Amino acid sequence: MLDAVIVGAGPSGLAAGYEMTRHGARVAVLERLDRVGGLARTMPHDGCLFDIGPHRFFTKNEEVRQLFVDIVAEDLLRVPRLTRIYYRNKFFNYPLTPLNALFGVGVASSVAIFLSYLNAAARQTISPVEPVNFEQWVTNQFGSRLYETFFKTYTEKVWGIPCTQIGADWAGQRIKGLSLIAAVQNALLNGKGNKIKTLVDEFLFPRLGAGQLYEKLAQRIEDRGNTVAVGRKVLRMNREGLRVRSVEVCDGQGRAEEYEGGYFMSSAPLTEMVEMMNPAPPDAVLAACRSLRYRDHVGVHLKVEGTPFPDNWIYVHDKRFRMARIANFRNFSHAMAEHDGVSPLTVEYFTFKGDDTWRRSDEELIDFALGEIAQMFVGKTTRPISGFVVRSEKAYPVIELGFQKHIDVIKSWLDGFENLKPIGRSGMFKYNNQDHAIATGLLAARTALGLGKYDPWLVNIDAEYHEAGESK
């Protein structure tokens, strides 16, 4: 019998497998796709490399940072960050710089934004109101004009629900520490001194794409004589009371396999893991699962001639465009482009499975994305060479008002298990980034190894987003 069975070879599952095997444990990591890396995987196509969407690695956790540096080793790059916002036919620096913003929105709007900010700041000083939803949080912090101009459309594109239904805690996590005054100060100081969270101007990146870290981690696990099996979808989790005994897997050829283990860690979406339980969980737990929603993601990946823009990625706030972001991986690492004359671009759409974007054929999506690019970069011809589409289900847990009470029901049932830990982002229904996902895997592994009792649910709980702290 294996010491541990790990569901999913994304960042959290591979970190768990790496830590277990570092201590000599025997594990199997089971991955339903045909490659490792999960949402942070890198896919080869026509001589280029594409990530699912832009993946910037940043962490305040020194252990996770060291792991990243040690594993990526000779392939580590420090990439200068250039990201802009596209809004009403104009490109705005992100982070905002005063002159660029002033010329972009015009003097009258800039004054209106500043006055609305002063108004919000005064209101918050005189009678502070605890924000409940995203709209209230941002309006309290920046004023209603800046919220309407720069936050509302993009956020609603990403989440597919009104900002009034998104919990304030997500805003706190995402943009904590940033205020209008601080942003202006940062711009005037030209990045000197302490940097606030969203203003980090350089990031670490593996030469061959975000997924290279995970390919290397999987290799380490295999080098220690353990299995990382791709094309293995876990379908069922057999339990006796509150102890998991085995998982049943389909190997893609329709053959069934069963893996028994002493301990189980799962990065499959939390709702799916609970539904896999045999016997089924209590009705209240199933009902809580069915009340949670995930947002799905469609990446249109295009190899094009030339370099249409110098940014790593551009946030597309403009309502006239369906795309939310466009990335050029050549601007992350030249090694991701076949040669200097081409760019691997990814155009991102956020959807709910089954909606119009999700249902379009790959050819339609590629044409649609090329049409949006042509409209955005007027006068620049972006000659397409080839392309492909990746649809990722359950890419973002929807942190909508009221979600926490459902999580509490599921969590309190799962907490009773002797040998099971949900890990990662979709696995714990948390807005976890790579570093958080890795940390949950490491902590779950240490618990499984008997090195102490660690609680992966506490990772990322201080609501400080990964852009926090000083740039490294």
Ligand X SMILES: Cc1cc2nc3c(=O)[nH]c(=O)nc-3n(C[C@H](O)[C@H](O)[C@H](O)COP(=O)(O)OP(=O)(O)OC[C@H]3O[C@@H](n4cnc5c(N)ncnc54)[C@H](O)[C@@H]3O)c2cc1C
Write out the residues near ligand X by the rule CB under 6 A.
7-13, 30-33, 38-40, 52-57, 233-234, 267-268, 297, 395, 424-427, 432-435, 437
Pairing status of strand 2-7 against strand 27-30? parallel
C-beta of 268: minimal distance to ligand X in Å? 3
Backbone φ and ψ of 57, nearest 5° = -90, 125
Q: Which residues pair with 296 in a beta bridge?
A: 351
* Whole-angstrom distance, CA of residue 450 vs CA of residue 471: 35
Torsion angle in degrees (nearest 10) through CA of 138, 140, 145, 146 = -40
Which among 441, 457, 446 is positioned nearest to 13, based on CA atoms? 441
326 vs 342 by CB, closer to ligand X: 326
| Sign of the alpha-carbon torsion through 357, 350, 293, 428 | positive
CB of 55 to ligand X, least distance (A): 4
**Strand, coil or helix: 458:** helix
Taking each helix axis as running N to C, give the angle between helix 98-105 and helix 180-188, from 0 to 180 degrees, rounded to the nearest 10: 120
Nearest to 168, CA basis, from 186, 185, 151:
151
Instruction: State the minimum distance, in angstroms, from the CB of residue 39 to ligand X.
Output: 3
Quick one: 114 or 352, whose CB is closer to ligand X?
352
Minimal distance, residue 472 CB to ligand X, in Å:
14
**CB of 297 vs ligand X, minimal distance in Å:** 5
Nearest CA to 373 among 334, 311, 330, 322? Answer: 322
CB nearer to ligand X: pick between 8 and 308: 8
User: Between 224 and 233, whose beta carbon lies closer to ligand X?
Assistant: 233
Q: Smallest gap, in angstroms, from Cβ of residue 124 to ligand X?
A: 31
Where do the H-state alpha helices sit in 35-167? 62-72, 98-105, 107-126, 134-142, 144-146, 152-159
DSSP secondary structure of 111-126: HHHHHHHHHHHHHHHH
For residue 75, what is the DSSP state? G
Q: Smaller CB distance to ligand X: residue 56 or 446?
A: 56
Q: Contact, 43 vs 37, CB < 8 A?
A: no
Give 146 or 249: the residue with its C-beta nearer to ligand X.
249
Residue closer to ligand X by CB (options 43, 180) is 43
CB of 7 or CB of 326, closer to ligand X: 7
The token duo for 287 is 């009902």
Query: Minimum distance from CB of 57 to ligand X (Å)?
Result: 6
**Closest distance to ligand X from the beta carbon of 314 (Å):** 14
